[in-house]
Amino acid sequence: MHFITSNFNNLNTNYLWNKLKSKYKLSIDNNYDNFYFSINNDLIFNNNQYFHILLYCENNNYTEIKKKIINLVKKKINKSLKKTFHIYLIRERSENLKKNSENLKYFSEILNNLNKIKKENLHIHLFENFNKNFSNLRNKVILKFPFDINIIKNFSKKIDSVIKISISKPYKLIILDCDNTLWGGVLDESKIKGINYSGEGIGQIFEMFQKELKKLKDQGFILSISSKNNEKKVWDAMKERSMHLNRKDFISPKINWEEKQINIDRTLKELSLRPNDTVFIDDNKLELQKVKHYIPNINTIHVDDISKIFDYLNNDLRFQKIKNIKEDKKKYYQYKIKSDFESLKNTIKTSKSFYKNLKQKITFHNINNKNFERCLQLFQKTNQFNFSLNRFTEIQLNKLKKNKNVKIKLFSLKDKFGDHGLVGSYIIKKDKKKYTITDFAMSCRILSRMAEDYVIFSIVKEYPQDKIYINYNKTNINQDLIGRFLEKNYFKFFNKKKNCIKYEIINTRELNDTRKIFI
């Protein structure tokens, strides 16, 4: 549930809110200047997951707002990391230059204080692009609403966009062409000094685009390249022109003279990523059409005019993230490990000795406040290796966490290449002497390592005297990977109820041999 409150009269009965109300489960505070009291109200606080706080900042209330925000951070935001808070700051405008200057000074002070807090569950948004007629003195005095009524459209539109971003699934992989995409001109023709990058004019736009890509990488998006070019010349160009992006920013780049769709397909297989979670950016429409024909579900962007690229980045919600957890920021490192593993695998025939030489170690963790967000993310975002495809909300996962007959575990993986972090989670329900794995999700970037087998072995080892089952909800999304995994001889069909297929797990020699390849 979303809850909207403010330090002015929200006019919650106004029809302009209706569209937002019909789209989402939300309620709007109907009391004047009630934001502080509402969020401190246990009933309201416990029944909602997302809080949207609209704050009108004017000369006589800056000190009060600052004090209340600090108290909210201490009392609620710091102690409720599983809930999300959005604060929308609205600055008073004045025709009086001196007053306007004072407003800006105080407004900046509040903004600086909020930015210093740096809580992952606190997000700050600004309303600054209103026209000069947005204020309304009559409404302020009579209705306790200091704006023109139509401004509610702006409020609802902004909140709508924030909610959309929070529920949309961001891209995982951004694949880029080089010529006329990362820089202007054709490298083979213009040479390194002749391509357009930095300086003034169009070169400056390419530099800005690379800056933006670097920011996306820092947020957890993976960058790769598919370009018909000379690989050495590409890396030399980036180095000699001091570009924001360089060789180490890209995972599994393919720079050669093969067809781009073939190279992209290889990259997706190496990283175990789906075309749906990938976007390919190129200036050549024909190349995009060939890629789309060969890989139908991939997303594509045609940059015939580089200046339009920022419209795509700003308007496509899949390029945006409201919340970044620690695991997102480790994505580059973890996919680099995946890439190194695939390179080794392609040069050596896989066998038990191959896996053993990887020095893989899986560690199991009980769910707690520190890894809760990652657990939630695994169930919400994992598709291909996800037995149930249950998209738990924070409230649902918390409820399961408190259930005495339910155990929620996460597991991490390390090998000789590095630390992959928390890569999977499973949920087990107990019923007398029977245990059922109701949910099991694992990141696809650690597939082909027998990690899923080792997890099953560990569960069987934990309950040696009991019957153990696993539920599988078969769909087009997970049937390929899960279907192949269930062909192992330690899974025995038990029954089927509606869309749920239940398998009994048998302790076979093959399953026990799994432990030999892990340390």
Q: How many domains does the chain have?
A: 3
What is the model's pLDDT at position 157?
A: 87
What is the model's pLDDT at position 409?
A: 97
Residue 180, CA atoms < 13 Å, CB-side half-sphere: 13
Asked whether the beta carbons of 503 and 456 are under 8 A apart, the reply is: no
> Do 423 and 468 reside in the same domain of the chain?
yes
> Do 153 and 229 reside in the same domain of the chain?
no
- A 10 A CB-CB count for 165 gives 17
The C-alpha atoms of residue 459 and residue 450 are separated, in whole angstroms, by 15
> Strands 254-256, 278-282: parallel, antiparallel or unpaired by DSSP?
unpaired
> Do 476 and 331 reside in the same domain of the chain?
yes
Q: What pTM was estimated for this model as a whole?
A: 0.59
> Measured between alpha carbons, how far is residue 358 from residues 4, 454, 517 in Å?
51, 14, 8
Percent helix, strand and coil across the chain, each to the nearest 5: 45, 25, 30
Distance, C-alpha 228 to centroid of its chain: 30
What is the model's pLDDT at position 253?
A: 94
> Do 305 and 339 reside in the same domain of the chain?
no
CATH of residue 266: 3.40.50.1000
The residue ranges of the chain whose pLDDT is under 70 are 81, 93-106, 113-119, 128-133, 322-330, 346-351
Write down which residue in 167, 192, 225 finishes a domain.
167
CATH of residue 497: 3.40.630.30
CA angle 252, 255, 258 (to 5 degrees): 110
> Do 490 and 469 reside in the same domain of the chain?
yes
Write down which residue in 303, 319, 335 finishes a domain.
319
Burial group, residue 104, by CB count within 10 angstroms (0-12, 13-18, 19+): middle
Write down which residue in 319, 338, 362 finishes a domain.
319
What is the model's pLDDT at position 173?
A: 94
Which amino acid type is present at position 442?
Answer: M
CATH of residue 103: 3.40.50.1110
Cβ contacts of residue 231 below 8 Å, gap of 6+?
Answer: 253, 255, 256
> Do 239 and 337 reside in the same domain of the chain?
no
> Do 117 and 231 reside in the same domain of the chain?
no
Q: Give residue 286's domain range.
A: 173-319
CA nearest 105: which of 491, 97, 157? 97
What is the model's pLDDT at position 347?
A: 65
What is the model's pLDDT at position 106?
A: 67
> Do 341 and 462 reside in the same domain of the chain?
yes
> Do 348 and 489 reside in the same domain of the chain?
yes
> Do 124 and 226 reside in the same domain of the chain?
no
The C-alpha atoms of residue 413 and residue 377 are separated, in whole angstroms, by 17
Asked whether the beta carbons of 278 and 266 are under 8 A apart, the reply is: no
> Do 379 and 308 reside in the same domain of the chain?
no
> Do 311 and 349 reside in the same domain of the chain?
no
The C-alpha atoms of residue 395 and residue 347 are separated, in whole angstroms, by 46
Strands (DSSP E) found in 59-172? 84-91, 122-127
Asked whether the beta carbons of 445 and 338 are under 8 A apart, the reply is: yes
> Strands 491-497, 173-176: parallel, antiparallel or unpaired by DSSP?
unpaired
What is the model's pLDDT at position 472?
A: 97
What is the model's pLDDT at position 433?
A: 79
